[in-house]
Amino acid sequence: MESTAQKSFIEYSPESHFPIQNIPFGVFYPKLDHTQRPRCGTRIGDFVVDLDYFEQKGFFDGPLFSELRKSGKECVFGQKTLNRFMKLGKKYWVEARTTIQKLLSSDSSLKNDMETRNFAFYHYKDVVMCVPAQIGDYTDFYSSKNHAYNVGCILRGKDNALQPNWVHVPIGYHGRASSVVVSGYEMPRPRGQIKLPDKENPIFSETKKLDFELEMGAFIGGELNTLGHPIKCCDAEDYIFGYVILNDWSARDIQAWEYVPLGPFNAKNFATVISPWIVTIQALEEFRVPLGKQDPAPLQYLYDPNLSSFDINLEVSIATEKTEKPEVICTSNFKHLYWSVAQQLTHHAVTGCNMNAGDLLGTGII
């Protein structure tokens, strides 16, 4: 990611996913903090930076945050979630990120401020990462044409693989927000009803067909629409706070028995795992690419000539007790999605469904 001349006084490997050009947002607490008080942070190289400490020291001195301080509403990063920061909107997100980059730059006064460096910087191995937001609602979409076609071939055969509505409407379902967890969660194997092909009646059993899904997730923020008012497609990206990697775990044998007629339920509600750091739209700008061709053209409410995607390489590795090291079993790229996240959000709200800061949208398997 480090392709510009901007440098930090924090040293890190050129291969690091957390250069000064990134500046993601997350929530953590230090392992040695007996209170286990979560607070907001960012990461650079191998270090997690306490943004609550930065805020208390008055380091966020841009015009927008200065106004917040004057109004007595400056406690943004001392919260146990990012929701308050997310709700402030895009202008605040950009100002905060710009300020942090300035504070961490090679010519920053913090370079020799040992008090701040001792109290605000933690090695990533010395912190516990938390779910970054209070997720009010989680919706998972089905936006990869390749995936939809492949699943359709399995269920209906090649002649009827892609349902007629799929190229006209972003398909999604409402997931379970309470079971969204961050990477590292040790998941018990789920149990449920399973219908075996050679049995007349279902049995109750542990799933034998636990599946992963390589997805991205988008966190929503800003002063969003009120109930009864849709979001315009041309405005939708302004409400996307940033992206995480998402794994929508699926118990396929439970799903095969329960999904008719209403779709996913217990087969997917036991755990959805996300990466702990939210990468902002601003950090991804240099990887922006045109959205792939949509044929037929979407209805007018889903159309915007400026719709785009991002060139983000994705990879899945699996490690077991029998493998010496993780083995790569899957590669893909975010740009392969048929429906953009902006279109997903637009369609979600087109009925007047009110979105809230901290809502999470999954892309579906990429």
Specify the domain boundaries for CATH 2.30.30.230 within the chain. Answer: 26-129
pLDDT value of residue 4: 55
Average pLDDT over residues 43-72: 95
Q: What is the mean pLDDT of residues 67-96?
A: 93
Angle at 138 between CA 328 and CA 216, to 5 degrees: 25
**What residues does CATH 3.90.850.10 cover in the chain?**
138-362
Which residue has tokens 């998402």? 246
Q: Which of 211, 189, 208 is nearest to 329 (CA)?
A: 211
CATH of domain 26-129: 2.30.30.230
Residue 72's pLDDT is what?
Answer: 79
User: Could you report the per-residue pLDDT of 144-153, keeping only the tens digit for each?
Assistant: 999 999 888 9
How confident is the model at residue 354, as a pLDDT?
97
**What mean pLDDT comes out for the span 319-328?**
91
Active-site residue set? 147
pLDDT (0 to 100) of residue 260: 87
pLDDT tens for each residue of 90-124 = 999 999 999 999 999 999 999 999 999 999 999 99
Exposed e or buried b per residue across 247-272, where buried means at least 16 C-beta atoms within 10 angstroms of its C-beta: bbbbbebbbebbbeeeebebbbbbbb
Q: What's residue 71's pLDDT?
A: 86
Kindly tell me if the per-residue pLDDT of 276 is higher than 80. yes
Q: Round the average pLDDT of the chain to a whole number and report it.
A: 95
Token readout for 272 is 């959805």
* Amino acid 2: pLDDT: 47
Assign domain 138-362 to its CATH superfamily.
Answer: Fumarylacetoacetase-like, C-terminal domain (3.90.850.10)
